């Protein structure tokens, strides 16, 4: 279930053996990291060799590689929405391929999977170390990105026509499913091409990852906005600041931003239901907070409270449900609630979503992206395919793409440590129902 597909025997010595005077610590496929790291010492002991013990292959350079660097062409595609760190990943892949492995044929496909469909008319970009040297200072992706499904057969046709041996797919859940479909079609045709994913989601909701790249930057930027909302709330009698943050299905950004700021009164996330009305509902809780402290700050994830709003369900080009605007909804409901009770109110609403996702990565994400890119190249050159690289229990590992995409998204546990910390920090009622 957690085994990684290999294209075949590795017949070339890794160029890393002679590229540096430093001794390289090569990894073997037998080195593993347990999927579940908690142990109940009262239970019977489990041997790591047991089939029931799931583990991930440790990432890192292999002593022998599958591809001959001098004859290898690599391709890079960035898919889905923008996220801090995309350019860092591109730079890391190009630098590692060129300088460490001697792969000098690197193509960047434009605008996500659209760039892999020749009829769309996008010509691939030739990437070199000098052309990507400063791109980590820029937000977004120099290759562009897009949402939406494209014909898998046509994408594989493009890989054949351009001679691409290795495809690096940088994207979220839907993009990784696309990468798996490409890998399956490649295998069906009997081709020897590697597909390696680098998981990307600003919401930090991909399972079996300690974190997604770009998340550190996203919630750090969100904290700045939350602090601005707090200042606005304090600056007027009965002031309320509402900040709507990203988080379609998972409230990690909202939770982390609230904890980091320390001045948030209410956090609303998709995983925890709430009521507006009633003695124990949100509106009464806000009125109590205003009466007691004369101000309140509310942080709401975009996917929270969706059942409270009417309207048609819309989807984006990738088939993801597009959330109704909970921020505007709350703004209007809170304003009307206080107006009906003849209580003067000053409410400021801030939605920084696109500003947060389009900024350059911060230093922590710079560091993380470099490691992910390097490990992705190590895996691809060793002929591994249908997998992604990630960090799990503080170790970099190889994870089969279906193992991740088949279990859905990661969520904030309403009974877990993170949500408990949020409740203790905000002092909001545990159940707004």
CATH number at residue 314: 3.40.50.460
CATH number assigned to the domain comprising residue 159 = 3.40.50.450
Considering the domain architecture, whether residues 200 and 292 belong to the same structural domain is answered as: no
* Residue 18, C-beta contacts closer than 8 angstroms, at least 6 positions apart: none
Burial readout 108-134 (b: 16 or more C-beta within 10 A, e: otherwise) = bbbbbbbbbbeeeebebbebeeeebee
CA distance 401 to 412: 22
Considering the domain architecture, whether residues 16 and 37 belong to the same structural domain is answered as: yes
From the list 135, 194, 127, 240, the residue with the least C-alpha distance to 401 is: 194
What sections of 97-196 are H helices per DSSP? 101, 152-161, 173-188
- Residue 327 in domain: yes
Considering the domain architecture, whether residues 25 and 172 belong to the same structural domain is answered as: yes
CA distance 11 to 218: 42
- Residue 432 in domain: no
Tens digits of pLDDT across the chain (433 residues): 899 999 999 999 999 987 665 678 999 999 999 998 877 777 776 555 544 459 999 999 999 999 999 999 999 999 999 999 999 999 999 999 999 999 999 999 999 999 999 999 999 999 999 999 999 999 999 999 998 889 999 999 999 999 999 999 999 999 999 999 999 999 999 999 999 999 999 899 899 999 999 999 999 999 999 999 999 999 999 999 999 999 999 999 999 999 999 999 999 999 999 999 999 999 999 999 999 999 999 999 999 999 999 876 677 666 667 789 999 999 999 999 999 999 999 999 999 988 899 999 999 999 999 999 999 999 999 999 999 999 999 999 999 999 999 888 899 999 999 999 999 999 999 988 7
Quote the pLDDT of residue 373: 98
Considering the domain architecture, whether residues 312 and 392 belong to the same structural domain is answered as: no
How many domains, the chain? 2
CA angle 27, 29, 30 (to 5 degrees): 100
Considering the domain architecture, whether residues 133 and 16 belong to the same structural domain is answered as: yes
Which phi and psi (to 5°) does residue 353 adopt?
A: -50, -55
- Residue 207 in domain: yes
CA distance 269 to 247: 8
CA distance 282 to 431: 9
Considering the domain architecture, whether residues 52 and 82 belong to the same structural domain is answered as: yes
From the list 100, 55, 43, the residue with the least C-alpha distance to 74 is: 100
Q: How many other C-beta atoms are found inside a 10 Å radius of the C-beta of residue 55?
A: 15
Question: What is the number of helices (H) and of strands (E) in the chain?
Answer: 12, 19
Considering the domain architecture, whether residues 243 and 130 belong to the same structural domain is answered as: no
- Residue 433 in domain: no
Quote the pLDDT of residue 38: 76
Range(s) of the domain holding residue 129: 5-212+359-405
* Residue 392, C-beta contacts closer than 8 angstroms, at least 6 positions apart: 33, 35, 56, 208, 209, 210, 399
Considering the domain architecture, whether residues 179 and 309 belong to the same structural domain is answered as: no
Quote the pLDDT of residue 317: 63
Between the alpha carbon of residue 82 and those of residues 29, 45, 145, the distances in Å are 33, 45, 7
Structure tokens at 401: 């793409």
pLDDT tens-digit series, residues 14-50: 999 876 656 789 999 999 999 988 777 777 765 555 4
Selecting among 88, 173, 203, 365, the annotated active-site residue is 203
Quote the pLDDT of residue 312: 63
Considering the domain architecture, whether residues 153 and 58 belong to the same structural domain is answered as: yes
The DSSP-derived string for 98-119 is IIIH---EEEEESTGGGGG-GG
pTM comes to: 0.93
CA distance 266 to 269: 10
- Residue 283 in domain: yes
Between the alpha carbon of residue 348 and those of residues 63, 266, 296, the distances in Å are 58, 15, 11
In a 3-state reduction of DSSP, which class is residue 339? helix
* Residue 113, C-beta contacts closer than 8 angstroms, at least 6 positions apart: 77, 79, 146, 148, 149, 150, 155, 175, 178
Considering the domain architecture, whether residues 45 and 156 belong to the same structural domain is answered as: yes
Q: How many CA atoms lie within 13 A of 2 on its CB side?
A: 21
- Residue 345 in domain: yes
Which phi and psi (to 5°) does residue 69 adopt?
A: -55, -40
Considering the domain architecture, whether residues 235 and 352 belong to the same structural domain is answered as: yes
- Residue 286 in domain: yes
- Residue 431 in domain: no
Task: With beta carbons less than 8 A apart as the criterion, state whether 65 and 26 touch.
Answer: no
Considering the domain architecture, whether residues 169 and 260 belong to the same structural domain is answered as: no
Element holding 168 (H helix, E strand): strand 166-171
Element holding 299 (H helix, E strand): strand 295-301
CA distance 137 to 134: 6
What proportions of the chain, in percent to the nearest 5, are helix, strand and coil? 35, 20, 45
Q: How many other C-beta atoms are found inside a 10 Å radius of the C-beta of residue 22?
A: 7
- 210 is a catalytic site residue: no
């Amino acid at each position: 279930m957690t085994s990684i597909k290999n294209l075949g025997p590795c017949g070339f010595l890794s160029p890393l053996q002679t590229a540096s005077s430093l001794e390289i610590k090569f990894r073997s496929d037998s080195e593993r990291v347990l999927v579940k790291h908690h142990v109940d010492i009262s239970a019977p002991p489990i041997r790591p060799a047991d089939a029931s013990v799931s583990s991930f292959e440790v990432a890192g350079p292999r002593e022998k590689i599958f591809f001959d660097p001098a004859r290898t062409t690599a391709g890079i595609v960035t898919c889905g929405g923008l996220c801090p760190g995309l350019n860092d990943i591109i730079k890391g892949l190009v630098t590692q391929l060129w300088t460490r492995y001697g792969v000098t044929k690197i193509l960047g496909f434009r605008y996500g999977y659209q760039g892999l469909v020749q009829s769309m008319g996008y010509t691939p970009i030739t990437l070199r170390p000098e052309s990507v040297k400063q791109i980590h200072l820029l937000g977004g992706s120099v290759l562009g990105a897009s949402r939406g499904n494209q014909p898998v057969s046509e994408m594989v046709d493009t890989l054949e026509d351009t001679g691409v041996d290795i495809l690096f797919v940088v994207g979220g859940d839907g993009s990784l499913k696309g990468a798996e479909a490409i890998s399956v079609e490649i295998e069906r045709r009997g081709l020897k091409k590697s597909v390696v994913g680098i998981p990307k989601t600003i919401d930090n909701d991909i399972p079996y990852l300690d974190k997604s790249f770009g998340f550190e930057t996203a919630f750090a930027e969100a904290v700045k906005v939350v602090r601005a909302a707090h200042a606005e709330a304090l600056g007027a009698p009965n002031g309320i600041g509402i900040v709507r943050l990203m988080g379609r299905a998972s409230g990690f950004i909202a939770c982390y931003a609230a904890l980091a700021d320390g001045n948030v009164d209410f956090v609303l996330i998709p995983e925890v239901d709430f009521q507006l009305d009633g003695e124990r509902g949100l509106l009464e809780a806000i009125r109590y907070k205003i009466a007691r402290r004369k101000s309140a700050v509310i942080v709401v994830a975009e996917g929270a409270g969706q059942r409270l709003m009417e309207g048609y369900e819309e989807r984006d080009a990738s088939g993801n449900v597009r959330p109704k605007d909970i921020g505007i909804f709350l703004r209007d409901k809170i304003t009307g609630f206080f107006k009906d009770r003849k209580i003067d109110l000053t409410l400021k609403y801030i939605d920084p979503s696109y500003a947060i996702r389009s900024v350059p990565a911060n230093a922590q994400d710079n560091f993380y992206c470099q490691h992910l890119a390097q490990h992705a190249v190590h895996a691809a050159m060793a002929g591994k395919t249908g997998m992604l690289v990630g960090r799990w229990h503080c170790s970099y590992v190889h994870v089969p793409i279906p193992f991740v995409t088949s279990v859905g998204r990661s969520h904030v546990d309403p009974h877990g440590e993170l949500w408990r910390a949020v409740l203790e920090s905000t002092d909001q009622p545990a159940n707004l129902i």
